[in-house]
């Protein structure tokens, strides 16, 4: 649990910890949100069925406060956003929303209810559902069982499994085989945890295997191959052979029967670490495994449809997030059929500012790339926050990137010039400008919210 400092109430939170008390919103949209959140129970076992009167009452694209009601810093920010959102590099299909995390006010709304292709900003929804259903301490388990002369490697949805992990499984299996006087064995893989289809609606054929692989429950070293399960089985078989066990025939695919004997198992790092890595690097394969494991955790089939159904239920019925014009078909955001309004993404991010969800959702906040952070998708190696207008915001913006052909998004949080934390979401579709130029323009919008580009 992160530190609570009740003696300071000027800001609602500080990224990476040091959360401060959030002032209770009064009336209107803020009061409605307060009621929704008061009703929510922050545990993974929460029931996800049944209607939500509060969620039904909400709608995206809430009208921003009249500019005359804003303080001088926010008035300047809004004026600058109005001028900069029409930047030709962003094209005409652009939307944006800025919320005040403390007051719950919508400070600026430019087509915020318009549903656009969000690209990898979809991962914000996937992460929120996964942490809520499974819990931040959940671990994925890979198993080895033996029966009828066969060692079967059983996938558990762990996209972080490494060759070293398989080597430990092989070592334990070899000890058992030798103790039983066995020197040869067949090897099979069981990836039946994730049923077909392995490819989502809206994925272009050019996406795999470079950006995504067919979704299977077993993979080693994140290898980008068509059949990650057989690939992992072959690595496992090679490790057995290297230690004196003869592998009889080729690695095959099979479903482990109930009469098999457990031999070895490996547990992943906690889900909080998994989410952190997935968001920092925008790992598509990790997101898709996570979507399916979330479906299983909620009692749904481990399919794209099962996973996206659970995401919708969690967002609307637990957190009261509006799903007006919300459509998703995968967990990573690669689907070109996905549509999410900027206002909805801002609502999801606003949950990170609420103390009652810190224990559940803090790894999303920690996992958001930071402007200028090497090794993340906002790092200098990606040309982010490096032009004259946005480099003043290096280290000050925490945001999820999203990039597809014809779609670029940036949604996150930053501390405004007035010292208050702002939640923002910007999405553009169909701009004909160069992608790097679009990103520069979008980074400039984030720097505008921060106030350093005044």
Q: What is the mean pLDDT of residues 163-181?
A: 96
Same domain, 154 and 236: yes
Same domain, 221 and 306: no
Q: Is the pLDDT of residue 4 over 50?
A: no
Backbone angles phi, psi at 271, to 5 degrees: -55, -35
Backbone angles phi, psi at 322, to 5 degrees: -70, 135
Structural domain of 109: 22-136+274-450
Cα–Cα distance, 235 to 215 (Å, whole number): 19
Same domain, 170 and 264: yes
Same domain, 303 and 432: yes
Q: What is the pLDDT of residues 308-322, one digit of tens each?
A: 999 999 999 999 999
Cα–Cα distance, 394 to 396 (Å, whole number): 5
Same domain, 30 and 89: yes
Number of domains in the chain: 2
Q: Is the pLDDT of residue 222 over 90?
A: yes
> In which band, very low, low, confident or very high, does the pLDDT at 357 lie, cut at 50, 70 and 90?
very high
Q: Is the pLDDT of residue 67 over 90?
A: no
Label residue 5 left, alpha or beta by phi (over 0 means left) and psi (-120 to 50 means alpha): beta
The predicted pLDDT at position 64 comes to 66
The predicted pLDDT at position 69 comes to 86
Q: Comparing 366 with 46, which gets the higher pLDDT?
A: 366
Q: Specify if 225 maps to a domain.
A: yes
Q: Specify if 12 maps to a domain.
A: no
Q: Specify if 17 maps to a domain.
A: no
Same domain, 425 and 288: yes
> In which band, very low, low, confident or very high, does the pLDDT at 203 lie, cut at 50, 70 and 90?
very high
Same domain, 288 and 436: yes
Q: Specify if 85 maps to a domain.
A: yes
Q: Is the pLDDT of residue 125 over 90?
A: yes
Q: Is the pLDDT of residue 39 over 70?
A: no
Share of the chain above pLDDT 90, in %: 80
The predicted pLDDT at position 65 comes to 67
Q: What is the pLDDT of residues 244-303, one digit of tens each?
A: 999 999 999 999 988 899 999 999 999 999 999 999 999 999 999 999 999 999 999 999
Q: Is the pLDDT of residue 53 over 90?
A: no
Last residue of one domain, picked from the residues 249, 268, 287: 268
The predicted pLDDT at position 209 comes to 82
> In which band, very low, low, confident or very high, does the pLDDT at 63 lie, cut at 50, 70 and 90?
low
Same domain, 262 and 314: no
Cα–Cα distance, 290 to 296 (Å, whole number): 10
The predicted pLDDT at position 44 comes to 35
Same domain, 79 and 145: no
Q: What is the mean pLDDT of residues 220-239?
A: 97
Q: What is the mean pLDDT of residues 46-57?
A: 33
Q: Are 386 and 380 in contact (CB under 8 A)?
A: yes
Q: What is the mean pLDDT of residues 402-423?
A: 95
Looking at every residue in the chain, the average pLDDT score rounds to 88
Same domain, 125 and 148: no
Q: What is the pLDDT of residues 319-353, one digit of tens each?
A: 999 999 999 999 999 999 999 999 999 999 999 99
Q: Are 354 and 33 in contact (CB under 8 A)?
A: no
Same domain, 202 and 248: yes
Last residue of one domain, picked from the residues 268, 292, 325: 268
Is the Cα torsion angle 319, 321, 326, 328 positive or negative in sign? negative
Cα–Cα distance, 2 to 242 (Å, whole number): 46
| pTM, two decimal places | 0.87
Q: Is the pLDDT of residue 156 over 90?
A: yes
Burial of 222 (0-12, 13-18, 19+ CB in 10 A): middle
Q: What is the pLDDT of residues 68-89, one digit of tens each?
A: 788 899 999 999 999 999 999 9
The predicted pLDDT at position 37 comes to 28
Backbone angles phi, psi at 414, to 5 degrees: -155, 155
Q: Comparing 17 with 1, which gets the higher pLDDT?
A: 17
Last residue of one domain, picked from the residues 239, 268, 297: 268
Q: Domain containing 260 — which CATH number? A: 3.50.80.20
Q: What is the mean pLDDT of residues 160-180?
A: 96
């Amino acid at each position: 649990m992160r530190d609570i400092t009740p003696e300071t109430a000027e800001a609602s939170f500080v990224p990476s910890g040091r959360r401060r008390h959030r002032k209770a919103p009064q009336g209107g949209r803020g009061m409605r949100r307060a009621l929704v959140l008061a009703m929510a129970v922050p545990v993974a076992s929460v029931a996800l069925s049944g209607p939500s009167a509060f969620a039904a009452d909400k709608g995206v694209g809430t009208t921003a406060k009249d500019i005359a009601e804003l303080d001088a810093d926010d008035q300047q920010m809004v004026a600058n956003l109005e001028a900069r959102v029409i930047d030709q590099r962003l094209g005409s299909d652009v939307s944006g929303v800025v919320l005040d995390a403390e007051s719950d006010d919508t400070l600026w709304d430019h087509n915020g209810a318009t549903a656009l292709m969000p690209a990898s900003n979809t991962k914000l929804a996937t992460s929120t559902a996964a942490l809520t259903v499974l819990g931040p301490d959940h671990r994925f388990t890979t198993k080895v069982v033996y029966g009828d002369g066969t060692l079967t490697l059983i996938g558990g949805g762990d996209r972080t499994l490494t060759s070293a992990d398989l080597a430990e499984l092989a070592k334990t299996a070899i000890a058992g085989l030798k103790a039983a006087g066995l020197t040869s064995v067949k090897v099979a893989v069981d990836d039946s945890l994730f049923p077909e289809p392995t490819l989502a609606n809206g994925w272009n054929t050019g996406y795999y295997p470079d950006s995504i692989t067919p979704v299977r429950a077993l993979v080693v070293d994140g290898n980008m191959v068509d059949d990650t399960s057989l690939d992992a089985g072959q690595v496992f078989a090679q490790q057995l052979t290297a230690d004196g066990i003869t592998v009889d025939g080729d690695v095959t695919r099979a479903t482990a029967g109930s009469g098999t004997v457990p031999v070895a198992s490996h547990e992943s790092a906690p889900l909080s670490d998994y989410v952190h890595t997935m968001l920092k690097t925008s790992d598509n394969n990790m997101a898709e495994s996570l979507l399916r494991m979330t479906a299983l955790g909620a009692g749904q089939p481990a399919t794209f449809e099962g996973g996206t159904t659970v995401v919708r239920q969690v967002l609307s019925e637990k957190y009261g997030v509006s799903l007006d014009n919300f459509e998703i078909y995968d967990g990573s955001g690669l689907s070109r059929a996905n549509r999410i309004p900027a206002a909805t993404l801002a609502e999801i991010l606003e949950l990170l500012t609420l103390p009652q969800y810190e224990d559940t959702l803090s790894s999303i906040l920690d996992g958001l790339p930071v402007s200028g952070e090497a090794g993340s998708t906002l790092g200098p190696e990606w040309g982010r926050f490096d032009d004259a207008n946005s480099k003043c915001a290096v280290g000050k913006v925490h945001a999820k990137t999203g990039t597809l052909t014809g779609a670029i998004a940036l949604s996150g949080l930053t501390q405004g010039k007035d010292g208050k934390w702002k939640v923002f979401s910007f999405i553009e579709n169909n701009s004909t400008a160069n992608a790097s130029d679009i990103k520069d323009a979008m980074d400039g919008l984030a720097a505008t919210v921060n106030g350093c580009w005044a």
